[in-house]
Amino acid sequence: MQNRLGQPIGEPVVGWQPPSAPPRQAIEGRYCRLEPLDASRHAGDLFRANQADLEGRIWTYLAYGPFDSETAYREWVRQRSESVDPLFFAVVDASSREARGVLSYLRIDPPNGSIEVGHICYAPALQRTPAATEAVYLVMREAFAMGYRRFEWKCDALNAPSRAAALRYGLTFEGIFRQATVYKGRNRDTAWYSAIDAEWPRLDAAFTRWLDPSNFDAGGTQKTSLRALTLG
């Protein structure tokens, strides 16, 4: 498309209305429930669940942690629970009703229809479970349902598990911002991934199929991988 000067320009976004900021309310799933982070409700569960990570691996690529005491962690949760951007959620296991992880919306940009998921910190009991995948699906689903055009995932370029997860979820790799930030006294090159609204129907169908109980055998092992479905 060109303007009157013959210069190439982007396609018009017809009828664009910026979405609202995401509300501080629970999001229900089959395997988990995302609850607005609350120190009195979640801090104890999360601290105990995180203690199972004896080596502290879950904190390596986060700008904070590990926490030496429940008191220190509870204060961190209290502060984050008051934030609007990032907007934090606890990932509450549907069976045990215990909080086992945290994630958030951040860089919430309604005028441009862009929103990011981040601050993902899953205790060992949550990792590699349907609930872990469903939590990301729920925030992605809600973002596009609210009218956002772009859903972002960013991570330290050296964080191989996070980069693999982004691809597994069907997000597109967009490149690396070199020397993007400094955290914990070290450099971070940031890898960028995204999904856009035109891609969401296909990704939604892939997640829905993968999360269906029929996709798991009696031992809980998946029959079809999510990556195979998102690639399809």
Indicate the domain borders of the chain.
Answer: 27-231
DSSP one-letter string for 98-124: -EEEEEEEEEEEGGGTEEEEEEEEE-T
Whether the Cβ atoms of residue 162 and residue 121 lie closer than 8 Å to each other? no
The b/e string for 148-186 (b: 16+ C-beta within 10 A; e otherwise) is bbbbbbbbbbebeebbebbebbbbeeeeeeeebeeeeee
Q: State pLDDT tens for residues 2-58.
A: 999 999 999 999 999 999 999 999 999 999 999 999 999 999 999 999 999 999 999
Instruction: Tell me what pLDDT residue 128 has.
Output: 95
Q: Which pLDDT score, from 0 to 100, does residue 40 have? A: 97
Q: Retrieve residue 151's tokens.
A: 């859903």
Choose the CATH number for 27-231 among 3.40.190.10, 3.40.630.30, 3.10.20.30, 3.40.50.1950. 3.40.630.30
- Give the predicted TM-score (pTM) of the model: 0.96
133-167, pLDDT tens digit by residue? 999 999 999 999 999 999 999 999 999 999 999 99
Quick one: tokens of 133?
A: 């995948």
What is the tens place of the pLDDT at every residue in 191-211? 999 999 999 999 999 999 999
Instruction: Please tell me the distance from the alpha carbon of residue 34 to that of residue 46, in angstroms, as a whole number.
Output: 13
- How much is the pLDDT for 232? 75
Q: Are strands 32-36 and 87-93 parallel, antiparallel or unpaired?
A: antiparallel
* Confidence (pLDDT) at 86: 98
Mean pLDDT, rounded, of the chain: 97
Query: What is the DSSP code (8-state) at residue 126?
Result: T
Q: How big is the CA angle at 20 (ends 195 and 193), to the nearest 5 degrees?
A: 15
* Gap between the Cα atoms of 61 and 188, Å rounded: 9
> Maximum CA pair distance of the chain?
64
CA dist 72 and 90 (Å) reads 17
Look up residue 101 and give its two tokens: 């992880």
> Are 21 and 78 a contacting pair, CB within 8 Å?
no
| Across 88-92, 148-152, 159-163, 219-223, least confident range | 219-223
Q: Cis omega (within 30 of 0) on the bond before 86?
A: yes
Would you place residue 117 in the very low, low, confident or very high pLDDT band (cuts 50, 70, 90)? very high
Confidence (pLDDT) at 17: 95
